Amino acid sequence: MGNVNVNIDGRKIRVREGSTILEAATANGITIPTLCHIKGQVPSGVCRVCVVEVEGSRTMMGACHTPVAEGMVIHSKSPKVIAVRKVIVELLLTAHTGDCVNDSNAENCALHNLASDYEVGAPHFNVRNPRFYPAEESNPYVKRDMSKCILCRKCVKVCGEVVRKDVLSIGYRGFRSKVVSGFDEALTAEACRDCLKCIEHCPTGALSAPARV
């Protein structure tokens, strides 16, 4: 495969054909935020925070899953992109209903960090039934607090495609969607061992190492 010429934020860039916009940007030191993307894995494109403007395109494009094309002119930080990204972060925050105030790990929450970078305040969308799930602490390796989960599906992906254990899937649909294990039950120590890969990839505090007692 040959190379193609694109323009990102006014910079002329030559990249390998077939790269994604995200890869092209990252390789040239341009940062585009992501929440659901795992480098090297097939993109799922579900979180939408990586949206960018592509001139001539009717809609915004997800940088993590859109391949570059010859002559593409891309804006990753235009006022329009920033405005849209802010709303996306606000929407994600709306469904992220965990107890973050008491969470000693909150500074590691990529969503909160994005919200503060983009100056998104408290979300003002009204939610009829807030997503709430009791935290699951029965597994010795992974504590799951699904109220904080933003359904980025990274844990499902690493567990299935990287670790090849496949103990997590998405259950239900729409607003009720939830990452489930087994028959929607707490992760058992038989099913889930201590690879801790999902914790490493979870962008929020939904998955964490249980406090050692």
Partner 1 sequence: MVPSKKEALSENGRAGLLPALKDRAGREGCLNRESMSGLAGQYHLPLNEVYGVSTFYAFLPVLPTGKNIIRVCRCLPCHLKDAQAVIGSIKKELGIAPGETSGDGKFSFELVSCIGACDQAPAMMINDKLYGDLTPAGIAEILKSYA
Q: Which is nearer to ligand FES, 50 or 142 (CB)?
A: 50
Determine if 42 is a binding residue for partner 1 (CB under 8 A).
Answer: no
Please say which residue, 35 or 74, places its beta carbon nearer to ligand FES. 35
Among 30, 50, 155, 206, binds ligand FES (CB under 6 A): 50
Helix/strand/coil (H, E, C) string of 64-108?
Answer: CCCECCCCCEEECCCHHHHHHHHHHHHHHHHCCCCCHHHCCCHHH
Q: Which residues pair with 207 in a beta bridge?
A: 144
- The C-alpha atoms of residue 180 and residue 170 are separated, in whole angstroms, by 6
Tell me phi and psi for residue 158, to 5 degrees: -65, -40
Q: Give CA–CA dist 69/85, Å, rounded.
A: 23
- Work out whether strand 143-144 and strand 61-62 pair parallel, antiparallel, or are unpaired: unpaired
Q: Which stretch binds ligand FES (CB under 6 A): 46-54, 73-81, 161-169, 201-209?
A: 46-54
Name which position in 13, 49, 92, 179 contacts ligand SF4 (CB under 6 A). Answer: 179
Q: Which stretch binds ligand SF4 (CB under 6 A): 60-68, 80-88, 127-135, 202-210?
A: 202-210
Judged by CB under 8 A, which of 56, 164, 190, 211 binds partner 1? 164
Please choose which of ligand SF4, ligand FES, partner 1, none residue 160 contacts, taking the beta carbon within 5 to 8 angstroms, the exact cut-off set by kind. Answer: partner 1
